[in-house]
Each structure stands twice: as structure tokens, then as C-alpha cells.
Structure 1
Amino acid sequence: MTGLSIVIPMRNEAGNAGPLIDGILAACDGADGLPQIEVIAVNDGSTDGTAAEVLALAARDGRVRLLGHAVSAGQSAAIHSGVLAARGALICTLDGDGQNPPEEIPRLASALIAAAPGIALVAGQRADRKDTQAKRIASKLANGIRSAALDDGTRDTGCGLKAFRREAFLALPYFNHMHRYLPALFTRDGWEILHLDVGHRPRGAGQSNYGNFGRALAGASDLLGVMWLVRRRKTARATEETTLP
């Protein structure tokens, strides 16, 4: 398995799907040193024209694929479905709302390709967020609590721009909202992490699928669960032996 698969979770992003995917293809076509790419949009139970927009792009460019959830299962489920279906050994993700600049994908992918074998995740961190003040404050508070509890060395786990090794990702424990804890989960499995500051831009169309209050309620139980997983991690790895010690 070779290549780079770009996975985009989407829910009611009909107004963003075309410009975003066109931007991804243009950014990757203009970059040197990238392997063959595919773009996988995962339609997470949308009730608008998201699927039709992606299918029109897929008819024009065979590198574009559409997966669908009959009902919305959440961002982590969409990412997981996309990675399972991916043909590439390397994965890049970004949000479907257009706020993650697709021009950042070659930077993240190139950093992972050049990284040492022990590095499995290159995590983007938004340097200048273009969100409302309420969302920035809520995110800063949540990131501070998470960082103190998990000591994962990451200031912004909510950034959708990430590049990682497919096999390593699929070995992680899956649960809803896991995408917010990838640095801690990769570290738990013995991998090293790289961080890159990335750009951010205002939402192109539509409305956010998340509310601060609902996210906070889910985040509290998720954080306790990840703390438990980290403490119960496997502490030994087997190596093949051919002679007696």
C-alpha cells in the first residue's frame, strides 16, 4: 500500500465541498515530492447537497471518492471510515468547513515523509484562528485542561490538519471524539509526534455543526476515558528472537 489519502469529514457542507476539494487537488498537483494522492470525502449523514457536489467532482477527477454514512455518526466516525477505506499508507485530514487551508497539506505530508520511522503523527496547530471570540475562549480553556491532564505537548488538538501513518492510526483504540486526542493516543502507543503551525481562515459557507456547551459535556467524559487508556497502556513490545539470551 502506497500513496497519500486525504480524508475530509463533511456534514452539510454543500457550499464548501467544491472549492475545498478543488483547492486540495491544486495544492497537491503543484507540490513536488508527494506520492500519488486520492481525496476521500466522507458524507456524514448530510441533509443538503453535499453528496451531489462531491459526486460531480468525482465524475470529473477519478482521484475523488465519496463515502457516506446514512445517519450522522460524528467527526471521529467519519475520519475512521475514511481511513479504513483509504488506499494510501499515509493519511492527511482536514475539516470540511473550508477553514483549514488545503495549501498546508503538502507541508504536513512532506514533513511526515521525511520524518524518522518512530514518528507517526504530524499535528497542525492553528497559529491565528479566524473564529468567534466565544469559540476561541472555549477552545483555549478545553486545550488547557486537556494538556494539564494528559501532558501531550500539544496546544491545539482541535486542529483538523493532521498527517499520520494509516497502520498506526488503525491500531489506536477507537471511540467517538477520538480525533481530539490523537497526540495522546499516538504517544500512548510509543510513537513520537511532530507539530507544525498552520494557517486558518473563516468558514466559507454554512454553519458550524458544533456548540460549545455540547462539546464541553462530551469532552469531560472523553478526557477521563483517555486518561484511563493512557494509564493502562501496554508497556512492553515483543521482538523476534532466534537465539537464547
Structure 2
Amino acid sequence: MKTSIFPQCLFESEEDYYKLTIIVPVYNEADNLIRLEKELLEYLKIASIPTKVLLVNDGSSDNSQQLIDAICYRNAAFSYILFDKNNGLSAALKAGFDVVNTELTGYIDADLQTSPNDFNLLLEHINDNELVTGVRANRKDSFVKNMSSKIANGIRRAFTHDGMDDTGCPLKIIRTCYAKNIPMFKGLHRFLPAMVLLQNGRVKQIPVQHFPRIAGEAKYGLWNRLLGPLLDCFAYLWMKKKYINYSIERTSE
């Protein structure tokens, strides 16, 4: 039986009550999902605004979906999307952006190398910004992973001029109307701040906690962290040149 930690019956609809949806892409994270459920439930109790969770199963080949089914069955604030095959992180985020019906959208990875509790830190700044992203302080990754990420972030900054130190940090809050206007393509999850800036939005980065992965396997190797993002930068430049952005001064109505 589903249980809810919020008195949702006091509101006319779910959309009237919840203000933030946290998207969690899942790909072969069976070893992390019970811990993920526990930590997200703890966060929902202290969240500064009413929050729900959307798990996006990116075609996992382990028993992640069985666990997701159970999690969503027993928790009213949890729901899921299941892909028929693995499509990648950008597709998982795009699917989440498409269905979210709350004013704000959050993003966190299922491996819990960042803490859901830090969403409250980001929320402190969302009133003055369209996207607030974490910056992983004192990263607990390997030397190779840290160096490849620093190089990749430097390359992206040179191409996008977004001023972001850690675009790959898997802890973000974005205004949903901006998220839905992002023309996602494979690899564009690395350019979310730049895509908000293209919409004349405001972005801010806030230091957040970082933890070592304690279960499951990392999904990205050196190619994904370094060479792949370099190629994505050229795709971003092409898209930026073609991007349509306008504002209407007035209409006849």
C-alpha cells in the first residue's frame, strides 16, 4: 500500500500541491536503489518545498525495475518511466523534462555521490535564477576521473563561455519551463547551464557535498568524460548558431 508523508488530500490536485519533481535516471543501479529510496524519503521530510520523485529507468538489464516497481508501490510521492532499451542520460533527462508538471525540476544521480539534502541549498537561490547547479567540493573520485573531468569542464567553458566549474555535477534545480525548452540531443546533459543561458536565463553554482560510489559501477570511462564531450562541443556550437530565441513585446489581444 502506498503511503504519503504529505496531506495531499487538502489540495485539489497533485499539480496544485507539489512544487518540485526530482528526476533520477537509473541504469543498472539495483545495488543502490533501496538506499536511494531511504535517502530520498528522508529528504522529502525536510524539503523546503513539497517534492516528489520521478525514476527514469534507462533500459536497465539488472533487476532495477522490480525494485522500482516496489518503491513506487509503497510510496505515493514516487513514480517511474521505463524505457524499452538503453538510450543514455540525455534521453532519460529529456523524458523527465517532458512529463514533469511542477514549477521546478531537480536532477540527481542514483549512485548518491551527491546528497539529496543539498537540494535545499540550491533552492535558496532559485528565486533569483533559472538554474542552480552544484559544484562538487572535495571530490571523492579517482585521480584519473578528477583530472579528466577538470579537462572536460575546461574545454566546455572555452566553447560555451558559461562560467561553470562543474557542469557534470549530478545535482541541479531548473525552472521547468526552461527545461522543457531545451532541444535535447545525445550528450547535451553536459550543457544544461549553457542552454539556460541561451534562453537568457540566469545560472548560479553552489558548492555541495560529494561522496565516493559505494555500490554499483560507474557508467562512464575516459572516452565518455573527455573525448566524447569534446565532440559534443561542436554539436553545441552548431545548435547555438541555429537556436531560435525571441520575446514578444505585445499582441493584438
- With normalisation by structure 1, the TM-score equals 0.90
What's the C-alpha RMSD, in Å, of the aligned pairs?
1.8
> In the alignment, which of 25, 33, 36 is matched to residue 20 of structure 1?
36
Q: For the structure 1 residues 214 and 107, does the alpha-carbon distance in structure 2 shift closer, same or farther, using more than 3 Å as the test?
A: closer
- With normalisation by structure 2, the TM-score equals 0.88
Q: What CA distance in whole angstroms lies between the structure 1 residues aligned with 2:40 and 2:69?
A: 16
Q: What CA distance in whole angstroms lies between the structure 2 residues aligned with 1:216 and 1:177?
A: 12
- Determine if contact 1:15/1:204 at 8 Å carries over to the other structure: no
**2:113 is matched with which residue?**
99
**2:150 is matched with which residue?**
140
1:174 aligns with 2:184: yes
Q: What CA distance in whole angstroms lies between the structure 2 residues aligned with 1:192 and 1:237?
A: 16
Q: Percent identity?
A: 32
Q: For the structure 1 residues 209 and 6, does the alpha-carbon distance in structure 2 shift closer, same or farther, using more than 3 Å as the test?
A: same
Deviation string for 1:178-206 (max 9, x for gaps)? 11001111101111111111111011211
Counterparts in 2 of 1:195-206, with a 5 A limit?
A: 195-206=205-216
Q: For the structure 1 residues 235 and 46, does the alpha-carbon distance in structure 2 shift closer, same or farther, using more than 3 Å as the test?
A: closer
1:49 is aligned with what amino acid?
N
Counterparts in 2 of 1:45-124, with a 5 A limit?
A: 45-112=59-126, 115-116=127-128, 119-124=129-134
- Structure 1 unaligned segments of length 5 or more: list them: none
Q: What CA distance in whole angstroms lies between the structure 1 residues aligned with 2:152 and 2:43?
A: 32
1:149 aligns with 2:159: yes
Equivalenced residue count is: 237
- Structure 2 unaligned segments of length 5 or more: list them: 1-14
Q: What CA distance in whole angstroms lies between the structure 1 residues aligned with 2:246 and 2:29?
A: 44
Quote how far apart the aligned CAs of 1:221 are. Answer: 2.1
Q: For the structure 1 residues 68 and 59, does the alpha-carbon distance in structure 2 shift closer, same or farther, using more than 3 Å as the test?
A: same
Secondary structure at the aligned position of 1:15 is classed as coil
Deviation string for 1:19-45 (max 9, x for gaps)? 1122122123123x41x2211111111
Q: What CA distance in whole angstroms lies between the structure 1 residues aligned with 2:212 and 2:85?
A: 27
- Determine if contact 1:8/1:96 at 8 Å carries over to the other structure: yes
1:83 is aligned with what amino acid?
F
Secondary structure at the aligned position of 1:93 is classed as strand
Q: For the structure 1 residues 240 and 30, does the alpha-carbon distance in structure 2 shift closer, same or farther, using more than 3 Å as the test?
A: same
Quote how far apart the aligned CAs of 1:241 are. Answer: 4.9
Q: What CA distance in whole angstroms lies between the structure 2 residues aligned with 1:71 and 1:217?
A: 24
Q: What CA distance in whole angstroms lies between the structure 2 residues aligned with 1:120 and 1:218?
A: 27
2:157 is aligned with what amino acid?
S
2:74 is aligned with what amino acid?
R
Quote how far apart the aligned CAs of 1:235 are. Answer: 6.0
2:40 is aligned with what amino acid?
I
